[in-house]
Every structure is written in C-alpha cells, then in structure tokens.
Amino acid sequence: MKKTLLFLLAGVVALAAVALFLFRLPAVQDTVFQRVVNAALGESHPELFTDDALRALVCGSSAPLADRNRAKACIAVFAGGRFYVVDVGPESWENLSAWRIPGDEIGGVLLTHFHSDHIGDLGELNMQTWALGRPERLRVYGPPGVEKVVAGFSLAYELDSAYRTAHHGAELLSPEAGRMRAVPIVLHGDPSPARDRRGLVFDDGGLKVTAIEVSHSPVEPAYGYRFDYRGRSLVISGDTLKHSPLAVASSGADVLFHEAQANHMVEVMGRAAQERGQARLQKILSDITLYHTSPVEAAELANQAKVKLLVLYHFTPPILNRVAESIFVRGLAEVRPGGVEVARDGLLVELPVASEDVRVGRIRGG
C-alpha cells in the first residue's frame, strides 16, 4: 500500500516536472497563446442575445465599502438582441469586458441615482463601447440631473476622445457616436411624501422599461426599474429604504433584484468605531441605516410582491466569506424559506418566454 502511494506520488512529481519543462519551450508557449487569442476573438456570448428569454447578469454586487471580489452596483439586462446596464459602479466595466460582453450591442445605460458607487464607470463604459463599435450615441437614462452627470463625464473624457479619433481616424471612431445623450425620465403621479410615482423609460413594442420612484432621501428622486419582455419581467430596486410602492410596482414580476444592508452588522461596526473614538465613521455608519433596506425587509417586500425569486445585491457591509454571509442573512429564512439568491458578480438569471421557469446560473467564463 505504502509502496503504491510512493509510486503514485513519484509519478505525479515527474509529470509536473515534464509540464514545467514543456511550458518553458517557446513553441509550446506560442501554441497556448494562440489558443487564448483565438478564444478571445471568437463570437462572444450569442446565447445571451437570443430573443427567447429575458436575462439579467450581475456585473456588480457591492456597495461603497471595498470588496475585491465584487464590483460596485451594476446589473445588465438582455432583451430583444440588445443589453441595457442599470448602474455602472466602479469596476463594473472591468467585469463586462473580462466576460467579453459585446459592448457595441449596448442599448443604453439606466442610472438609478447619482451616488458614486452607481456612476463611477460611466465614462469608461462610454469610451470602451464606442471603441468596440457602438454605432450611435450612448443613451443614459436617469432621474432629472442625469444631464449634469453626463455633461461632467463628457468634459472629463473630451481630450481622450479627441486623441482616439485623431489616432484611429473619424471613420473608425466617429466623434458623434462617441458622445452620450442624457435622457431624463419624468415621473407621473402625485409627488406626495408616499413616493408612489412611475415613469415610462421606453416601450419599443418588445421591451418595456418603467422607472419606479423609491425612497433614498436626501437623494430625490431615486429610481428602481422594471423590465417587461414577452410576458416575463424583472425589477431592480436601486438604493432605497423598504418601500411599499416598490412592492406594488413589482407585483407579478418574476424576479426582484433588491439592495441589502445588514443593519445588525452595521451596528456592530458603529459600536467598534465609537469604542475607538472614530466619531466620523460612527456618524456615517449611523446615517446609512436611514436609507437602505435590511435583508429581512427585502424578503418581506419580495413576499408582498409575490415574486418568484429575490436576488440580494449591493451589500453593506461587504460579504467577504461564508460566515459573513450567514450573519448577513440571519433571520431571512424565517420570512422567506426559499426563492432567494445572494448575488455574486457573474450571476445570470434567465427567464425563458412562454414559460414560468426561473433559471439561475453563471455567465460562461465568469
């Protein structure tokens, strides 16, 4: 027995040594690199663009506190041969690019509000999708004020855009296509404190997108978005307190992507800050509990809306390991025993048309 084990071990070591030797040979290295290049230049994710499903891909699931494994807020929605990006938090373009989502197929960006963890990559996404061949201006939808955000990013990237057109030629990189077009979405209804207003973003006959007012004061207005496509639907909350009108606007939807802040963990952090005399951090941690939703509250809202699946995202504090995840969702299972996913970047939800199925998986290569 001992002899067999030793023999096997010697075999593994010998194989590893041979592999190490082979990978030092330029011809082997070149073959491997050629394969990587061929794979990178192949068709990228045609399966996401077929018109037989509504799909959503989590391209960023974290909130302002640092999490090396998660980009900040971003959810890409695929419908009718195009994709739309709801929020473009820092590092989210890196995800989309690394997964080889074809940027020239973008139909628009929808901003829920203008906190930095939701807009940080707007300039990068515009620049990169233009370089990838986007044929027209990038539409950026959002609450009134989106014009200011778009104008600011445009100014910051103005010199770079000019360099690129000068370098590659206007035929390849037309200055017109490289620009952004801000599209402010106006809400209809009574601007009462109840914040129960909606506004049509667009309805192209296949895909209908609706803005839903949420509660993130003093950020006003702040939006969530509902996507309806061929009988399937999903809602993305943006940042909000638990907000009953969002449940009403989500009713009948298949999936709700809802932000989540574990206030019981934030309180522990607040007390630790207090004990260390870090008054500034303590104040910020105390303030943020006033405009976000706890995981249990998000579950209650999902139940109220009767959605099939709740996907939690935009986590404060960051969920850095399994233990933290258990603490984060404590009490949730008692409210909603099933139909909950804790998002990771790369989570893919597919809603096939003419079906009740909700398929949860991961982006290929992610």
Contact criterion met (CB below 8 Å) for 117 and 63: yes
Closer of 233 and 240 to Zn ion (Cβ): 240
CA torsion 222→228→232→237, rounded to 10°?
A: 0
The correct pick among 55, 100, 115, 258 for binding Zn ion (CB under 5 A) is 115
Q: Which stretch binds Zn ion (CB under 5 A): 22-30, 46-54, 116-124, 263-271?
A: 116-124
Closer of 67 and 117 to Zn ion (Cβ): 117
Residue with tokens 């990068």: 124
196 binds Zn ion, rule: CB under 5 A: no
Q: Which stretch binds Zn ion (CB under 5 A): 11-19, 102-110, 112-120, 151-159?
A: 112-120
With b meaning 16 or more CB within 10 Å and e meaning fewer, what string describes 245-278?
bbbebbeebbbbbbbbbbbebbeebbeebeeeee
350 binds Zn ion, rule: CB under 5 A: no
The correct pick among 67, 117, 121, 297 for binding Zn ion (CB under 5 A) is 117
**Strand-by-strand arrangement of the 82-86 sheet:** 180-184, 138-142, 106-110, 82-86, 74-79, 53-60, 347-352, 359-362
Question: Facing residues of 58 across strands?
Answer: 75
| The total number of residues written for the chain in this structure | 366
DSSP H helices in the chain: 2-22, 26-41, 92-98, 116-119, 122-131, 146-156, 158-168, 244-250, 263-275, 279-288, 295-305, 322-328, 332-335
Q: What's the min distance (Å) between Cβ of 119 and Zn ion?
A: 10
336 binds Zn ion, rule: CB under 5 A: no
Closer of 115 and 232 to Zn ion (Cβ): 115
Q: Which stretch binds Zn ion (CB under 5 A): 30-38, 107-115, 146-154, 318-326?
A: 107-115
Q: Which stretch binds Zn ion (CB under 5 A): 7-15, 117-125, 138-146, 147-155?
A: 117-125
Distances (CA, A) of 20 to 10, 28, 37: 15, 11, 22
Q: What's the min distance (Å) between Cβ of 255 and Zn ion?
A: 20
Closer of 117 and 196 to Zn ion (Cβ): 117
Contact criterion met (CB below 8 Å) for 266 and 288: yes
Closer of 72 and 226 to Zn ion (Cβ): 72
**Widest Cα–Cα separation across the chain:** 82
Q: What's the min distance (Å) between Cβ of 24 and Zn ion?
A: 47
Cα 62 to Cα 336: distance, rounded to the nearest angstrom:
22
100 binds Zn ion, rule: CB under 5 A: no
Q: Could you give the string, one character per residue 230-249, with x where binding to Zn ion holds by CB under 5 A and - elsewhere?
A: ---------x----------
Q: What's the min distance (Å) between Cβ of 267 and Zn ion?
A: 19
Q: What's the min distance (Å) between Cβ of 343 and Zn ion?
A: 14
Cα 234 to Cα 342: distance, rounded to the nearest angstrom:
16
Closer of 37 and 290 to Zn ion (Cβ): 290
| Pairing mode, strands 207-216 and 255-261 | unpaired
Q: What's the min distance (Å) between Cβ of 237 and Zn ion?
A: 11
Q: What's the min distance (Å) between Cβ of 148 and Zn ion?
A: 17
Size of the site for Zn ion (CB under 5 A): 3
Residues that bind Zn ion (CB under 5 A): 115, 117, 239
